[in-house]
Amino acid sequence: MNKRFRHVAVLMGGFSEERDVSLRSGAAVARGLRTAGYSVEEVDVLSPQFNLSAKTDAVFIALHGRFGEDGGVQSILHSRGVPYTGCSPEASRVAFDKTLTRFRLQQVGIPVPRGCFLLQSCDEPPIPCPLVVKPARQGSSVGCHFVFDRADWPSSLADALRYDGEAVVETFIEGTELTVGFVGMDPLPVIEIRAPGGRYDTKAKYTPGLTEYLVPAPISPEAKTRVQSLALKTYLALGGRGMGRVDLRMTPSGELFVLELNTIPGFTETSLLPKAAGAAGISFPNLCDRILQLSDIE
């Protein structure tokens, strides 16, 4: 494949709660791009006033959380006229905000769990337990709590609210956790996630060996088609571009609910997009190369 770019900056680190994970993702991406034949500069982003080398042809964004996924860094790169991986500033903003995501998906008829959002603490849960409460604008399950017992509600809500003052509360969907990755518009194999107790939280995500990942997911061909179709509809509705990962839940009766779109999935040793790509026969360097080739300025 002819390469559009030669000198690439990998943005990593950042100043969100996900800095450590981003550093790991960025280091892995940098290794992959070097293996794929690129000249790579690793840029640890410590503030919005970051610098890029004058020879930079494109940017691979490996920043997770605030500024990296919410449209902040995308707006800066757009203003500088530098091609970058992933979604546009507006699509990033909407996908990162769980409240805006719910509104957008409901507008186009995509099923989401029953839920609401809260701007302040309350003594009683607004919907029956079991439920999930999480900050409206965080990633990697930061501040996310599974509330199966009413007694855990006050502390769980308080923690979710402390990040940006807005929390999303949703019914916990009993069943199977599934995820579908995308490279461009192409869906990757469906992955089933089996976390301890069904709670796919930050610990379950980033502790090697704690969570079981089945790829391809052991579901019927008919279910696989429905899952990938709904994931693609979600990806398009939220403006997905270049790469992404849609998380869903499937009930024992086969009903599907969309949880969110991750516009900058992780690239660590436990991350799901590389696992799915590997199952599709796409090596890690090739995955990084393909995503970079889809870089744009819009």
Catalytic residue list contains 53: no
Give the chain's radius of gyration (CA, Å): 19
**Interatomic CA distance for residues 199 and 211, integer angstroms:** 10
**Interatomic CA distance for residues 97 and 251, integer angstroms:** 25
The single residue of 17, 170, 247, 289 carrying the catalytic annotation is 247
The single residue of 262, 271, 289, 290 carrying the catalytic annotation is 262
**Interatomic CA distance for residues 131 and 150, integer angstroms:** 10
Catalytic residue list contains 206: yes
DSSP 208-239: TTTSEEESS-S--HHHHHHHHHHHHHHHHHTT
Query: Which residue is associated with the tokens 């991350």?
Result: 271
Classify strands 145-147 and 256-262 as parallel, antiparallel or unpaired: unpaired
The single residue of 18, 57, 201, 289 carrying the catalytic annotation is 18
Catalytic residue list contains 22: no
**Interatomic CA distance for residues 296 and 298, integer angstroms:** 6
Helix residue ranges per DSSP H, the chain:
19-35, 72-80, 89-96, 98-107, 153-164, 202-206, 221-237, 272-279, 284-293
The single residue of 38, 84, 200, 206 carrying the catalytic annotation is 206
Catalytic residue list contains 253: no
Report which of 48, 74, 70 is spatially closest to residue 61, judged by C-alpha positions. 74
Catalytic residue list contains 245: yes
The single residue of 38, 266, 271, 290 carrying the catalytic annotation is 266
Catalytic residue list contains 140: yes
The single residue of 17, 70, 97, 260 carrying the catalytic annotation is 260
Query: Which residue is associated with the tokens 């996924």?
Result: 69
Q: Which residues are catalytic?
A: 18, 140, 206, 245, 247, 260, 262, 266
